[in-house]
Chain A
Amino acid sequence: EPEVTQTPSHQVTQMGQEVILRCVPISNHLYFYWYRQILGQKVEFLVSFYNNEISEKSEIFDDQFSVERPDGSNFTLKIRSTKLEDSAMYFCASSGTRGGEAFFGQGTRLTVV
């Protein structure tokens, strides 16, 4: 069964460093998303991506964040100058159509120390 895969599963980084979180969406999907979940809280939308450009972004997704689809399969989230409060689980998701069923990767747990 097709699935969304994310790497790494865990990442520990020092404050101020840059991290890149990687995702491989389901192969025939066209819409890609990043979400964040701070421990014990709800899942928050960060950004959606379609046709090689950002479709929508939340207030959380400021200049510290960027997304890229460097090739036909990968979808990345870059976080620059990480802060302690960036520590969270980051989920990638994809869907085949706008508003269609979204499938999530297993998440990357980011810890900023």
Chain B
Amino acid sequence: GIQVEQSPPDLILQEGANSTLRCNFSDSVNNLQWFHQNPWGQLINLFYIPSGTKQNGRLSATTVATERYSLLYISSSQTTDSGVYFCADNDYKLSFGAGTTVTVRA
């Protein structure tokens, strides 16, 4: 199956900073999803983004399917942005990356 690599594995940010998380795929991207796993373990949908760019508040995502990668941008980070961010390729089932653990410090 498709392999999903996320980078960086860990990210420490000062509140207010901007950051970029990356997801690389070993094969053609199908329907990409980004999730945020909060400290309680819940997987929160951020974006369903097979291609192109979407924005939702301080978050935005870009998927370039032909080049097999997706980016998640966090702007003006807040402490509530802390948690693990997962990308997953959605082709009838989700294939998850290992995640990026984001810690935002006040």
Contacts and interface: CB of A to CB of B under 8 A. Distances in A.
Contact of B42 (A31, A35, A100, A107): A107
B30 interface: yes
A47 B88 CA distance: 16
The A interface, classified by DSSP as helix, strand, loop or mixed, is strand
Interface stretch (A14-22, A38-46, A69-77, A78-86): A38-46
Given A42-B98, A101-B33, A102-B33, A48 B93 contact: yes
A65 interface: no
Given A42-B97, A44-B96, A99 B43 contact: no
Contacts of B73: none
B48 interface: yes
Interface string A15-37: 00000000000000001010101
A56 B98 CA distance: 22
B41 A99 contact: no
Given A99-B30, A102-B33, A43 B94 contact: yes
A106 interface: yes
Contacts of A95: 90
Interface in B81-101: 86, 88, 90-99
A99 B86 contact: no
A111 B99 CA distance: 23
B18 interface: no
Interface in A95-113: 95, 98-104, 106-107, 109
B92 A43 contact: no
Interface of B: 30-31, 33, 35, 40-43, 45, 48, 86, 88, 90-99
Interface of A: 31, 33, 35, 37, 41-45, 48, 55-56, 89, 91, 93, 95, 98-104, 106-107, 109
